[in-house]
Amino acid sequence: MSSEEGKLLAGRFNFHIDEWPLGDLFSSSGPLSEVVIAEDQATQQSQRFGFITFTNPEWASDAMRALNGESLDGCQIRGDHAGGNHRDRYDN
């Protein structure tokens, strides 16, 4: 089983959200092994999406169903399984 199976992409959150509140929201579905916020290399500013990796892929699927559309600091979070072109899915 690859770690990619348990990895989600979450996006459309506020620029100031860091790993802690994003991880806190998703950890309600199961233990996490990693939370990473994508940053612009030049400015170090959040690109408003990140990756959440669960220790068990089933928890990732459960989290995606339960948390897709949930609000985090006033923004509606959109989630999907990681893979493909992330920027195209979460710009806006």
The pLDDT score that the predictor gives to residue 33 is 97
Tally of domains within the chain: 1
Whether 28 is covered by a domain: the verdict is: yes
Phi/psi-derived region of residue 7, left when phi > 0, alpha when psi is between -120 and 50, beta in every other case: beta
Does 90 reside within a domain?
A: no
pLDDT in the model for residue 5: 84
- Does a structural domain hold residue 43? yes
Q: What is the CATH number of the domain that holds 18?
A: 3.30.70.330
If one counts every other C-beta atom within 10 angstroms of the C-beta of residue 53, the result is 19
- Per-10-residue mean pLDDT, the chain, length 92: 80 94 96 97 95 96 92 93 63 52
Sequence-distant (6+) residues with CB within 8 A of 83 are: 4, 9
The dihedral built from the CA positions of residue 33, 35, 41 and 47, taken in this order, carries a sign that is positive
pLDDT score recorded for residue 1: 46
Q: What is the pLDDT of residue 83?
A: 75
